[in-house]
Structure formats: structure tokens, C-alpha cells
């Protein structure tokens, strides 16, 4: 036990990161307290659907809300004409409603101030876990500077805070956290293949984590099946001499993910099969790529993610293109994933494109942190540090001022 509580695991960087995450959680709670959930919001509709399944009702997402008495706000997301949700599996609904499953009372509007917070809890947890994951990955890749740059951008990101607190936002943080986890777990497990140990048995924890991440991601947004070839591509690239082992691990994680999603249908094969048949795995609207407004909308969304990205992301991209030292896998991987998600977001301007925009943001933060950390190691280190920390401080102050204005409205 004494070997667990070491300075490497619980030192000054960890406490500073924990402090930033507490500030992040405080901002989410503040925003949630000043933007109460409304009865017709998508979050409450999802929670209501999932709660019916928990309590022995129909499988969530397999019956149109209008047929279950929730006509108000039924258009919050699209259902097929025969009553199936083409974008979410029941897992999405069950996660959203999991805290309500232990709520002893009925979901009355006059008590929404109390039980409404139960709906927010899973996404506050997901938001905090994603922040911790961003810091952990960036720190492992780029050192303490990179970790704190990524975490500083994350903890004061308006879009991340709104999504975590369900403030006029869809409940997508579970998909965002699991997407980030699936990509970097696939990368991490591949790096262990060169160790002289039995492949499957030694990596069972990471296989389990990868399977859970894939299940939560795809179960929360069917179009995130794109993670499967993406993860496999990274694994095969990183282990060219162990591609058989990498493929075996990928297949094991995929099998686990399918079993978990099947379990969310309460092991009903007919409902599961109909859910797969009605799933919208990638509804690309190719004509959107020829619409200038789609790119302007995407740029506005990125500005809402973090104003600092308007400066740091273009600069980081230019440096990456011009400076060979910054073009290594640790920077390239998050850039490729973010670029793919942004490309998909342009092609699907409504849904699931809105989800892709959120998924791209943490990867952008990691990419920016990596390039900035590389620049800090040059002879212009003092100037770069001053610019970066000044920009991050300005971004944090701006975000806090915006939160203060919420209470005055």
C-alpha cells in the first residue's frame, strides 16, 4: 500500500490538477443552479425514457416519445416514423436516468428543483473524468507544461461547462469521455505489446477499459462506430511487428462492447436487431460541404468551445506544418482525430454533427498543448511561456466573467 501513495502519483502536479478540476466542477454547479432544466428539455426526456426501462417498461429509444405521453419536446431529436431512435441505443437513456432509478418519489414538476440535479450527476461526473483524462494524457505525452495547458483550456471552456451541466445542451459528455478514452486506450494498449508477456492476459484491464469506452461511445451515438477503424488503424501502425496481437485485442474489446450494448436492450435479441436496423450509423449530407455557412457555423462553435482556441489552434497548426520537430505521433494523433471529427461535423450540420463538434474539442486541446510544450523547449522559452500563460489566464477570466453575468440575468 505504501508503494501506491508515492510522490509520482500524489505530488504537487496532481494536487494542482485536482484544484483546477474542483474549479471546473464549481463552475458547472454554478451554471446548473442558474439554468434549471425545463420539462421539455432533451435531458429530461432522455432520463424519463430510461427510467421507464429501469422500472420494467418498454426498451428506451424503441418507442416514439409521443406514444409514451411525452409529446412536449418530442422533436428534441429525430425518431424514425415507426418509433425508433436512430442515433442512440438504450444505453444512452439508461446512463442519463441511472441516478433517478434510486429516486423513491415520482417525477413531479413541482419537485424538479430537487430530482433535476440527479439527471445532471452522470454528466458532471463524465465532465470531470474527461478533464482528468485530458490532463493525464497530455502530461504523459508532453510533461507537466503540456498537461496544465490542456487542462487550463478544458476547465475554462464554455462549451464543456455547458455540456457537463446540461445547460441548454444535449447530454453528450458520456460519449465525449468514452471517445477520448477509446482512442488513447487503444494507443496505450498497443505500446505494451512489446513487453515480453502474454498478450491477452497481461492486457485484460486495458481491454476491459477499451471495450467499456467503445460501448459507451457507440451506445451514446451510433455514428461513433467510426472509432472502430480509427482505433484499429492506430494499433496496426504502432505495432507493425505485432499486428496479429493488436487485432486480437481490438476484436476482444469490440466483442465486449457489443455485449454491453446488447445488455442495454436487456438481452432482448428482437429489440436489439430492430435497433441495429434503424440505426443511423453515418448520415452524411454531402451537399453541406459546399455550403460556406457550414464552415462559419463550425468556426463559431469552436470559438464557443474556448476563445483561446481562435489564437492557439491556428498558431499550433502553422507551427506543426512548418516545424519538423513538432510532427511526431504524439501531436499527429490528436490532430488527426480532431480533424476527422470536424470534417464529419461539417457534413452533418445538425445531428450527429453537433456531437462530433464536442468530441473534437478535447483532442484539439491536447494538440495545442503538445505544440506549445514543444515551443517552450526552444531558446524562446520565456517569451512562449509568457504568451501561453497570459492567454490561458485571459481565457479563464473571460469565462468567469461570463458565468457571473448568468446570475445577473
Give CA angle at 364 (359, 366), nearest 5°: 110
pLDDT at 52: 86
pLDDT at 61: 85
How many beta carbons lie within 10 A of that of residue 194, not counting itself?
11
Residue 172 burial by Cβ neighbours in a 10 Å radius (0-12, 13-18, 19+): buried
Residues in the chain, pLDDT under 50: 1-2, 4-5, 65-76
Cα gap 32→219, rounded to integer Å:
26
pLDDT at 285: 63
> 0.85 cut: is pTM over it?
yes
pLDDT at 203: 73
DSSP code of 139? H
pLDDT at 152: 95
> What grid cell was written down for 372?
506549445
pLDDT at 360: 93
Pair 343, 284: CB distance under 8 Å? no
pLDDT at 267: 93
pLDDT at 69: 42
pLDDT at 238: 93
- For 38, residues 6+ apart whose C-beta sits below 8 A from its C-beta are 44
pLDDT at 117: 82
Cα gap 24→43, rounded to integer Å:
21
How many beta carbons lie within 10 A of that of residue 36, not counting itself?
12
Amino acid at each position: 500500500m505504501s508503494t501506491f501513495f508515492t510522490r509520482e502519483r500524489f505530488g504537487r502536479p496532481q494536487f494542482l490538477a485536482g484544484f483546477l478540476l474542483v474549479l471546473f466542477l464549481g463552475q458547472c454547479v454554478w451554471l446548473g443552479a442558474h439554468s434549471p432544466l425545463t420539462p421539455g428539455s432533451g435531458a429530461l426526456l432522455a432520463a424519463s425514457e430510461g427510467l421507464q426501462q429501469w422500472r420494467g417498461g418498454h426498451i428506451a429509444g424503441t418507442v416514439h416519445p409521443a406514444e409514451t405521453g411525452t409529446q412536449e419536446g418530442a422533436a428534441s431529436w429525430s425518431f424514425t416514423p415507426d418509433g425508433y431512435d436512430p442515433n442512440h441505443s438504450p444505453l444512452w437513456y439508461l446512463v442519463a436516468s441511472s441516478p433517478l432509478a434510486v429516486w423513491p418519489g415520482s417525477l413531479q414538476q413541482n419537485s424538479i428543483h430537487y430530482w433535476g440535479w440527479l439527471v445532471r450527476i452522470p454528466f458532471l461526473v463524465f465532465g470531470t473524468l474527461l478533464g482528468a483524462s485530458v490532463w493525464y494524457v497530455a502530461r504523459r505525452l508532453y510533461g507537466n507544461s503540456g498537461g496544465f495547458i490542456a487542462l487550463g483550456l478544458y476547465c475554462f471552456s464554455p462549451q464543456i461547462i455547458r455540456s457537463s451541466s446540461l445547460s441548454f445542451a444535449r447530454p453528450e459528455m458520456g460519449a465525449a469521455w468514452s471517445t477520448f478514452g477509446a482512442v488513447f486506450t487503444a494507443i496505450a494498449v498497443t505500446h505494451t505489446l512489446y513487453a515480453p508477456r502474454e498478450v491477452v492476459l497481461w492486457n485484460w484491464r486495458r481491454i476491459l477499459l477499451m471495450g467499456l469506452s467503445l460501448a459507451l461511445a457507440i451506445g451514446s451515438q451510433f455514428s461513433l462506430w467510426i472509432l472502430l477503424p480509427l482505433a484499429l488503424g492506430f494499433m496496426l501502425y504502432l505495432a507493425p511487428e505485432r499486428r496479429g496481437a493488436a487485432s486480437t485485442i481490438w476484436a476482444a474489446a469490440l466483442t465486449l462492447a457489443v455485449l454491453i450494448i446488447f445488455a442495454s436492450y436487456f438481452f432482448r435479441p428482437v429489440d436489439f436487431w430492430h435497433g441495429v436496423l434503424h440505426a443511423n450509423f453515418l448520415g452524411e449530407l454531402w451537399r453541406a460541404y459546399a455550403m460556406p455557412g457550414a464552415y462559419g457555423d463550425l468556426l463559431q462553435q469552436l470559438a464557443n468551445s474556448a476563445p483561446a482556441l481562435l489564437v492557439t489552434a491556428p498558431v499550433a497548426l502553422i507551427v506543426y506544418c512548418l516545424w519538423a520537430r513538432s510532427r511526431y505521433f504524439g501531436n499527429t494523433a490528436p490532430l488527426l482525430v480532431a480533424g476527422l471529427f470536424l470534417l464529419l461535423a461539417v457534413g452533418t450540420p445538425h445531428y450527429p454533427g453537433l456531437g462530433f463538434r464536442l468530441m473534437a474539442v478535447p483532442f484539439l486541446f491536447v494538440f495545442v498543448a503538445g505544440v506549445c510544450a514543444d515551443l517552450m523547449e526552444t531558446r524562446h522559452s520565456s517569451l512562449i511561456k509568457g504568451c501561453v500563460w497570459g492567454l490561458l489566464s485571459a481565457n479563464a477570466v473571460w469565462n468567469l466573467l461570463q458565468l457571473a453575468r448568468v446570475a445577473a440575468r
